[in-house]
Amino acid sequence: MYKYRRVIISVIAGLLVLSLLGGIVVSAFAASSSEIKSRIEALEQQEAQIAAQQAALNSEISDAKNEQIDLIGRKSQIDRQLKLTQDEISNKNAQIQEYNLLIAEQQNELDDILQQQKELNDRYQTRIRAMEENGSVSYWSVLFKASSFADLLDRVDMVNEIAEADNKMMAELSAVALHIEQVRADLAAVKLDVEAAKEELAEAEAELEQERAEADQVLNDLNANRAELEAAYEAGEAMELQLSAQIAAQELAYNQALADEAAAAAAAAAAAAAANGGGSSTGGGSGPSGGASASGFIWPCGARIITCRYGYRTHPVTGKTNSFHTGVDIGAGAGSPIYAANSGTVTAAGYDGAYGYYVTINHGNGFSTLYGHMTNFIVSSGQTVSQGQVIGYVGSTGLATGPHLHFTVYYNGATVNPLSYLP
């Protein structure tokens, strides 16, 4: 019987080590950590794309220095430079957030292992003390209770093997804990690197804001040369009208495509109903959200100050009375959120020399809206948005000397007065 006791004890001790360490090793490489790392890799790829765009723009700016570039062209470069910097900062912030999640995940795993290590050590110490107090592990107990010399050796081996198994568990647990501690230290170092990069980008953004202020100052300085000022604004106004006409045509074509799809779907449904012996079904949508006008629109930003109305006007700079404004300008602080006036599909999200960063949304039923002079947008073409969803932020990109939102409403391909559709 004693002959096989050592073998049995060795097997049990080995299984105990494997069972405890197996669970710990698996937890150290949990699926959540892998998912976080995958997201970080995706953000790093996005960062590389932004860097490539930055390099292309820097090359364009370098080439432009050798040419006589007009004011609108220079402002366009500044606006795009600012947008790329903001994209970089957003990307870095997202990376920092993911790294923090990964560090927290690893810290939790480390804490779990250390707690298990402590509990194991406590149990081990308690068992040793109890055995010593009961005399079952003391050398006197071994000497006096052994029935033979072989039994004495078995008892000594039993104690040694259990102690060796405990020590092995403690050593392995310590190794795993040290490994995770190193991982946590590495991640903390990366976090510091990203924080440093964020500070550098913030400094770059401040420099670009200064450049944009300089461009605005140039616009103000042009007041000293009326001819150049009027030429710049007339060129910008022509660009606005041209883009507005293009958008109107695109929205009209989009509405027609939607109508054709709806007609085709209705015809298919009618054919299917006829084949099934008749029957019909109807459906309905949700009504406009609270605060919407009778037409279903809400204000596209928190401000309600109209700085320039829709329609013919006396241009504030050129003084011409035949100037036509295709929307309304809403005065708002830079960085204020811009909301979708109604639900719909984003049909364009881009940059134009006149409107700067802008977004257009098709709402169905012949209605579309345009949001111009954004500092940046956070939606993409083809995306479905809900009423009140943030789509971008107020800025002064394009031909604008101060932060405001240019808001245009199209109905069946033509601009209409937005104030007639707002609550």
In sequence order, what are the beta bridge partners of 350? 358
Residue 168 confidence (pLDDT): 75
Model pLDDT, residue 142 = 52
Same domain, 189 and 252: no
Q: Which of 189, 219, 249 delimits the end of a domain?
A: 219
Kindly tell me the sign of the dihedral angle through the C-alpha atoms of 381, 412, 248, 289. negative
Is 70 among the domain residues?
yes
Residue 280 forms part of a structural domain: no
Residues 166 and 243 in one domain: no
**3-class state of residue 336 by DSSP:** coil
- Name 12's bridge partners: none
Residue 235 in any domain: the answer is yes
Shared domain check, 72 and 209: yes
89, part of any domain:
yes
Report the CATH number that the domain containing residue 314 is assigned in CATH.
Answer: 2.70.70.10
Residue 278 lies inside a defined structural domain of this protein:
no
Torsion 328-332-335-339 (CA) sign: negative
pLDDT digits (tens, 9 = 90+) for 66-117: 555 566 677 778 888 888 888 888 888 888 888 888 788 877 877 877 777 7
**pTM for the whole thing?**
0.60
Q: What is the pLDDT of residues 140-161, one digit of tens each?
A: 555 456 666 676 676 667 667 7
Do 143 and 46 have their domain in common? yes
Domain holding 176, by residue range, is 2-219
259 and 215 within one domain: no
With a CB cutoff of 8 Å and minimum separation 6, the contacts of 124 are: 166, 170
Which tokens hold the place of 67?
A: 């040419």
Q: What is the mean pLDDT of residues 342-367?
A: 90
C-alpha 7/C-alpha 13 separation (Å) is 10
Judge if 6 and 79 occupy the same domain: yes
Residues 88 and 47 in one domain: yes
Q: Count CB neighbours of 76 within 10 A.
A: 22
Q: Same structural domain for residues 52 and 150?
A: yes
* 210 belongs to a structural domain: yes
Residue 395 is classified by DSSP as: B
One domain, residues 206 and 231: no
Structure tokens at 30: 């949990």
| CA–CA distance, 391 with 372 (Å, rounded to integer) | 11
Does residue 337 register a pLDDT over 90?
yes
Please report whether residue 285 resides in a domain: no
Residue 272 maps to a domain: no
Looking at the structure, tell me whether residues 372 and 413 fall in a common domain. Answer: yes
For residue 230, the surrounding DSSP H or E stretch is helix 226-275
Q: How many domains does the chain have?
A: 2
Question: Sign of dihedral through CA atoms 269, 275, 276, 279?
Answer: positive
Is 312 in the same domain as 365?
yes
Query: For position 331, what pLDDT does the model report?
Result: 92
Residue that terminates a domain, selected from 185, 219, 253: 219
Q: Mean per-residue pLDDT for 206-225?
A: 67
* DSSP sequence for 169-232: HHHHHHHHHHHHHHHHHHHHHHHHHHHHHHHHHHHHHHHHHHHHHHHHHHHHHGGGSHHHHHHH
Give the SS3 label for residue 60.
helix
Task: Verify that 199 and 165 share a domain, yes or no.
Answer: yes
